[in-house]
Amino acid sequence: MGDASGESDADRAVKAKHRAMWALGDYAAVANQLIPALGTALVDACGIRAGTRVLDVAAGTGNAAIPAALAGADVVASDLTPDLLHVGRRIAEGLGAELEWREADAEALPFGDGAFDTVMSCVGVMFAPHHQASADEMLRVCRPGGTIGLLNWTPEGFIGRMFATMKPYAPPPPPGAQPPPMWGDEGHVRALLGERVTSVHARRGTVRVDRFTTPGEVGDYFKKNYGPTIAVYRNIAGTPERVAALDQELAALARDQASATDGAAGGGLAMDWEYLLVTAQRR
């Protein structure tokens, strides 16, 4: 099993901040209102079916874990933030999905070697600070011949650009932490997995988001519901001019993203958010 005992005080502090950040706002709303199709897309790409032993890493509120369970798989949904697991459990119960919910650090998973047929993550593991450690753990707990499935936001897509926009307003990242959208770069993911996998398939896709009417609504929604955005605004709360500047930059990003689309029904905004979907077989 992965061993978190070697963590430094600094590492533990980083994990505590991550746990608290993702408990802010309402991530279940983001997952269910904006990107509900992504979990099913990953489950389908992994070929998950009845009887498959599945681990969803950084599962959040179960955007991918719940569809996998509804497909008949034997699923463990793991996440660093227990608040998200509690919400996910309620959602699963309402849908009649049976699965296990387990608090776990993606960089030190509490599972045995080769314990799962499929190890996947849907816009989740990308937010663990040390990419290679997380990739190593996902590979370790996947059986030989099993499937690794990853769906992550690209640097060039809306969410990747949103993180780049927020970066100057955020506290400095901890030493050694890597930017989350790097998981949306195919070359980076291939390097993380290395020679330990075969049959790597990677493709970019988009999810249509047409919930919003104006560019300003997009930033307002993330300020209310999305933990990383809430944390950034808290960091600059004492400087109103910086808050106003970030408001304007996020609205401009939404406007730019919407400009290349056909527009939403009813005259609102429509954005196509880009992701990278990778599947591979454990060697």
Residue 161 reports pLDDT greater than 60: yes
As a whole number, mean pLDDT of residues 200-206 equals 98
Least confident of 86-95, 165-174, 253-262: 253-262
Q: Are 227 and 17 in contact (CB under 8 A)?
A: no
Report the domain count for the chain. Answer: 1
Please report whether residue 218 resides in a domain.
no
Of the candidates 226, 179, 207, 211, the residue with the CA atom closest to the CA atom of residue 277: 207
Split at pLDDT 50, 70, 90, the class of 267 is: low
Six-digit token pair at 25? 């706002």
R_g of the chain computed on alpha carbons = 18
Six-digit token pair at 2? 């992965």
Of the candidates 240, 236, 243, 237, the residue with the CA atom closest to the CA atom of residue 219: 243
As a whole number, mean pLDDT of residues 221-243 equals 98
Split at pLDDT 50, 70, 90, the class of 8 is: confident
Collect all residues with Cβ–Cβ distance below 8 Å to 212 and sequence separation of at least 6.
218, 221, 254, 264, 268, 269, 271
3-state secondary structure of 191: helix
Q: How far apart are CA 133 and CA 108, in angstroms?
A: 8
Six-digit token pair at 95? 């849908």
- List the domain range (segments joined by +) for residue 122: 9-162+171-207+273-282
CA distances from 197 to 105, 156, 194, 203, 207 (A): 23, 26, 7, 17, 27
Please report whether residue 268 resides in a domain.
no
pLDDT in tens, 115-160: 999 999 999 999 999 999 999 999 999 999 999 999 999 999 999 9
What is the CB neighbour count within 10 angstroms for residue 130? Answer: 16
Please report whether residue 2 resides in a domain.
no
Q: How far apart are CA 105 and CA 208, in angstroms?
A: 31
Please report whether residue 96 resides in a domain.
yes
Least confident of 7-21, 64-78, 258-272: 258-272
Q: How far apart are CA 133 and CA 161, in angstroms?
A: 25
Q: For residue 7, give the DSSP letter.
A: -
Residue 162 carries which side chain, given as an amino acid letter? Answer: M
Please report whether residue 239 resides in a domain.
no
3-state secondary structure of 262: coil
Split at pLDDT 50, 70, 90, the class of 265 is: low
pLDDT in tens, 95-124: 999 999 999 999 999 999 999 999 999 999
Collect all residues with Cβ–Cβ distance below 8 Å to 229 and sequence separation of at least 6.
25, 162, 166, 219, 222, 223
Residue 238 reports pLDDT greater than 70: yes
Please report whether residue 219 resides in a domain.
no
Provide the pLDDT for residue 6. 63
Residue 264 reports pLDDT greater than 60: no
Please report whether residue 258 resides in a domain.
no
State the pTM of this model: 0.95
Residue 262 reports pLDDT greater than 80: no
Residue 84 reports pLDDT greater than 90: yes
- CATH number of the domain residue 176 falls in: 3.40.50.150
Provide the pLDDT for residue 13. 92
Angle of helix 227-235 versus helix 215-225 axis, rounded to 10 = 90
Give the CA angle between residues 129, 272, 123 to the nearest 5°.
25
- Summary mean pLDDT of the chain: 95
Share of the chain above pLDDT 70, in %: 95
Please report whether residue 250 resides in a domain.
no
